[in-house]
Structure 1
Amino acid sequence: MSIALAAYVTAVDTDGGAMVLLDERTGKYRQLNPTGALVLRLLLRGAGAEDAAAALAERYPQAGARAGEDVARLVEALRRAGLLRD
């Protein structure tokens, strides 16, 4: 799975590891918590969903069993919001 932000989306890291995404078409901001930001950064750097889920499970062992589902849900939410390039 290759992930890229849409051309009209600006991503900014915030204090504490979070990330803010600005949809320049609508002016809407969306904030990712540090966990979501970690996953998105990995995916944007070329990691696959399985690799991102493994990194998530390693960093947060309590999330291990559902890490793959969490990654898929994040990607789906970003797609529905129109923030990812098709």
Structure 2
Amino acid sequence: MALRLGTDVCTALTDYGTVLLDQRSGEYWELNPTGTIVVQTLLEGGEQGDAVDALVTEFDVERSQAVRDVTALIAQLRATGLVV
């Protein structure tokens, strides 16, 4: 399930993570390093499982927690229209 950003969404890397800006509404969201890894993995064509694997590899997190976190982030990004 690769994702792509909505047509009106742009990103910027920061020292802390990634900022997503919805140019339609002017709202922005800041992703922490964990969220950044998830989004980058999915935008590069990875599947949800690849994002989970990336979190487990990069951070000291249980696989079950990584699955919940990735699922929740994807749901939030879709609900806000940031990704399709």
Q: Given the two structures, how large is their TM-score scaled by the length of structure 2?
A: 0.93
- Secondary structure (helix, strand or coil) at the match of 1:77 reads helix
The AA in structure 1 aligned to 2:78 is: R
Aligned residues: 84
Aligned to 2:81: 82
Query: C-alpha offsets along residues 46-77 of structure 1, whole Å, 9 cap, x if unaligned?
Result: 11000110110111132433111111110000
The AA in structure 1 aligned to 2:74 is: V
Determine if contact 2:55/2:61 at 8 Å carries over to the other structure. Answer: no
Q: Distance in 1 between matches of 2:67 and 2:46?
A: 13
Check if 1:32 corresponds to 2:46: no
Structure 2: any 5+ residue segments left out of the alignment?
Answer: none
Q: Given the two structures, how large is their TM-score scaled by the length of structure 1?
A: 0.91
Identity across the alignment (%)? 39
Distance 1:64 1:15, change over 3 A: same
Q: Distance in 1 between matches of 2:52 and 2:39?
A: 11
Name the one with the larger helix percent: 1
Check if 1:2 corresponds to 2:2: yes
Check if 1:12 corresponds to 2:45: no
Q: Distance in 1 between matches of 2:61 and 2:82?
A: 29
| Cα displacement (A) at 1:78 | 0.4
Structure 1: any 5+ residue segments left out of the alignment?
Answer: none
